[in-house]
């Protein structure tokens, strides 16, 4: 199966300016993301960085990573991905996997897994991933997005709240995890290109605005999202300067051990 991996990257990060170019053991972070993705996909899978700045394109080219320049004024990553699909000339049935540019420790097997799940899920417009939560603190953390599924592994709802809610087990506070095990959403998506082109034009959903979760727009408009469940927790992402320091140390340690 062929598909395209798109890695959106923009310099104007609010919490961490110039984040795509942050140094990870001598290599820009967005390049590390692309290299890690390429290590886990077939040789014929197209991996492309969709950048908002010539500086990102130049950094990628220096490391033999393909990159295209997209507009600076996109409101969301979905808009940037839709433009990238047009630049690359992808048809509406092509599958595109969106890997975030701040996930240099992403499981390299995930892009293929979500792409294959979408290919086989004719009822779904997009797919994503999740893993079982093992820690109560993650379960109650609003920055950890949870998802509940139906029997066909299609998403019923995503929330920052602790779901599913154990009716009798939480009367004294949340001190244990419910059964079935709650699932943490992993922020990787596969789309059919036709839906990706349509998605930014859909009316924003009230639930999306309440939870600050863009994927709820798809559910609100009646689209289904297939979910690949993996046993592997996601690697450390980079949202803050503190995250960057932790990931920099990991890459330095990896270089020393090599």
pLDDT score at 258: 63
Burial grade of 186 (CB within 10 A; 0-12, 13-18, 19 or more) = buried
Structure tokens at 44: 């014929």
pLDDT of 109: 95
DSSP letter string over 61-83?
A: HHTT--EEE--S--SSHHHHHHH
User: What is the helix (H) or strand (E) element at residue 158, kind and residue range?
Assistant: strand 155-159
Q: What is the mean pLDDT of the chain?
A: 93
Give residue-wise pLDDT tens across range 193-223. Answer: 999 999 988 999 999 999 999 999 999 999 9
Average pLDDT over residues 43-65: 95
pLDDT value at 1 more than 70? no
The closest of 68, 19, 20 to 48, measured between CA atoms, is 68
* pLDDT given for residue 215 in this prediction: 95
State the DSSP code for 129: E
- 4-128+185-257 CATH, one of 3.90.550.10, 3.30.70.660, 3.30.2020.30, 3.40.50.720: 3.90.550.10
CA distance linking residue 10 with residue 240, whole number of Å: 15
- At residue 4, the pLDDT reads 97
Position 92 pLDDT exceeds 80: yes
What percent of the chain stands above pLDDT 90? 79
| Residue 86 confidence (pLDDT) above 70 | yes
pLDDT tens sequence across 137-191 = 999 999 999 999 999 999 999 999 999 988 877 877 888 898 889 999 999 999 9
Average pLDDT estimate for 40-46: 93
C-beta of residue 183 within 8 angstroms of C-beta of residue 144: no
Distances (CA, A) of 238 to 31, 47, 123, 141: 14, 20, 33, 17
pLDDT at 252 over 90: yes
* Those residues with Cβ within 8 angstroms of residue 108's Cβ, 6 or more apart along the chain or in another chain: 36, 37, 39, 40, 41
How far apart are the C-alpha atoms of 47 and 151, rounded to whole Å?
Answer: 32
């Amino acid at each position: 199966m062929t598909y395209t991996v798109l890695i959106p990257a923009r310099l104007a990060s609010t919490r961490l300016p110039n984040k795509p170019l942050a140094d990870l053991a001598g290599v820009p972070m967005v390049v590390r993301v692309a290299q890690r993705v390429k290590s886990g996909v077939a040789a014929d899978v197209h991996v492309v960085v969709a950048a908002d700045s010539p500086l990102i394109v130049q950094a990628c080219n220096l490391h033999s990573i393909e990159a295209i320049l997209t507009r600076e004024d996109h409101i969301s990553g979905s808009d940037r991905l839709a433009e990238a699909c047009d630049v690359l000339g992808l048809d509406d049935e092509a599958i595109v996997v969106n890997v975030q540019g701040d996930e240099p420790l992403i499981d390299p097997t995930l892009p293929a897994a979500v792409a294959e799940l979408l290919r086989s899920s004719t009822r779904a417009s997009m797919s994503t991933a999740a893993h079982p939560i093992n820690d109560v603190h993650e379960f109650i953390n609003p920055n950890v997005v949870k998802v509940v599924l139906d029997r066909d592994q299609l998403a019923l709802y995503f929330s920052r709240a602790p779901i599913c809610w154990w009716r009798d087990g939480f009367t004294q506070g949340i001190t244990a995890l419910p059964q079935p095990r709650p699932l943490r959403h992993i922020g990787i998506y596969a789309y059919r290109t036709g839906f990706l082109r349509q998605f930014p034009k859909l009316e924003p959903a009230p639930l999306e605005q309440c939870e600050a979760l863009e994927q709820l727009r798809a559910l609100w408009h009646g689209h289904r999202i297939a979910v690949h469940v993996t046993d592997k927790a996601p690697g450390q992402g980079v949202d803050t300067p503190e995250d960057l320091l932790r990931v920099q140390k990991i890459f330095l340690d990896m270089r020393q051990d090599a």
